[in-house]
Amino acid sequence: MKSGRFLSVLMAVSLISAAALLPDPAPAKAATPAYAQLNLIGGGTLSVGNAWVKNGVSYLDSSVLANFGFELHWNDTKTRAEFKAFEKSFAVRAGSRIGILDGQKTDLGGVPFVYRGTLFLPASFMVKTLEGKSLRWDPKTKTIIADGLHTYRGHTEVFNGAVYSLSYETGDLRVSTGNGPKRKIANLGTKLDIVDFKFEQTPKGLILLRIRNVYGEPHIHYEHFLFLLKDGGVIRQTSTYFRASFNDPALWSDGKILMNDGITLRLIEDGTGQVAETVNLAELMGEDDSSTSYYNVEGFFPDFALIRPLDTGILTLVNRGTGEQVPLYRVFFDAELQQRVEQYDPMILGDFLRFTGRDGDRLTFTYYNGKEDLIFTYDLSASAS
């Protein structure tokens, strides 16, 4: 799924472009230019400087709906505008007081019109659509004020006949099958921005759902949610934080599922969901009990682990038997590149090494130098001798 922020810009542009195809009558002589202050549920305010009060009815620039997750679609004759968002839709015709909201006919409370290429909708209808709490007019500032507006951004995917839906506003993850009701199975919080799903059927019949959320500005902050599902319900879950410069967390180790919260790594039995082994990552990295460090696990085996501390972003090979640690960039990089890694910019944390696989005692890694992937190998047997 594309970036919600980027998608919103595209939606706003397409909305204005398509609206320009409709007739362009001027507002009635009594029309008054106005502003709008749109207050979102949970905080956040949008200011709109393109609004009207016409024949006693307040109207808002419909392109603002892109900020609430709506995308515009026109019919072939460009006379009917349909707005679609996550689990919400409505349709209107310029010049008609009757519209469709979530499949039902409704009185719009005014007549949509186009002015200078922009489609305007009755403010009361927009607030009703966004499930707002109130709408009022401030004559002193000529401002239309709406409170408690919801947003309708989310992500939906189908796997094995089940529909999984994630609301960005509430963070609720729900699942439904056939015509059955949607059931909430988890909550991911409300910092959701750019989300993607990955499903995997395990050899013993469980489902792994990985959800990655990229957020912040710039988009360098990653959250990785992992859910282990059985019979449509969550039996294990965890989440961890990492940076865009890190590799994805490792998922499997010797037939067991890895669930890491950044502090404790749990190895989970496939089929039963039982915990087979628990690893204190700070202890593995030689830290004391007071450590508040956070670790991304990018490879985990009976004899060694590949750990990347959050504060340095340096991929480190750790011998699980002896505790010996090898910062791999010092093995692979020349002096100039080593210096570049050690004088890191916190915005682009890490060495950008990627673990790509193991063949016996031979480990492979890649590093992109701006032109091509460089391939490095590490021999466990040679390092042990």
Residue 5 confidence (pLDDT): 37
Q: Which residue in 173, 218, 169 sits closest to 3, CA to CA?
A: 218
Q: How far is CA 66 from CA 44, 232, 241, 285, in A?
A: 15, 33, 29, 47
For 154-194, how does the pLDDT look when each residue is reduced to its tens digit (9 = 90+)?
Answer: 999 999 999 999 999 999 999 999 888 999 999 999 889 99
Return the DSSP state at 24.
-
CA pseudo-torsion sign 295, 296, 298, 301: positive
Q: Which residue in 266, 301, 269 sits closest to 281, CA to CA?
A: 266
Helix (H, G, I), strand (E, B) or coil at 243: strand
Joined together, the tokens standing for residue 6 give 């980027």
Domains parsed from the chain with CATH numbers: 4-149 (3.30.457.10), 154-384 (no CATH)
For 61-116, how does the pLDDT look when each residue is reduced to its tens digit (9 = 90+)?
Answer: 999 999 999 999 988 887 899 999 999 999 999 999 999 999 999 999 999 998 88
Residue 221 confidence (pLDDT): 87
Predicted confidence pLDDT, tens digits, the chain (385 residues):
344 433 333 333 333 333 333 333 344 445 789 999 999 998 889 999 889 998 889 999 999 999 999 999 988 887 899 999 999 999 999 999 999 999 999 999 999 998 887 899 999 999 999 999 999 999 999 999 999 999 999 999 999 999 999 999 999 999 999 888 999 999 999 889 999 999 999 999 999 999 999 988 888 889 999 999 999 999 999 999 988 889 999 999 999 999 999 999 999 999 999 999 999 999 999 988 767 789 999 999 999 999 999 989 999 999 999 999 999 999 999 999 999 888 877 777 889 999 999 999 999 999 998 899 999 999 998 876 5
Helix (H) or strand (E) holding 18: helix 4-19
Prediction pTM value: 0.83
Residue 118 confidence (pLDDT): 85
Close Cβ partners of 227 (under 8 Å, ≥ 6 residues apart): 173, 185, 186, 208, 209, 210, 211, 234, 236, 237
Task: Please write down the HEC assignment for all residues of 305-329.
Answer: EEEEECCCCCCEEEECCCCCEEEHH
Instruction: Put the strands of the sheet holding 221-230 in their side by side order.
Output: 194-201, 207-215, 221-230, 233-243
Residue 384 confidence (pLDDT): 63
Distance CA 354, CA 364 (A): 9
Distance CA 339, CA 246 (A): 19
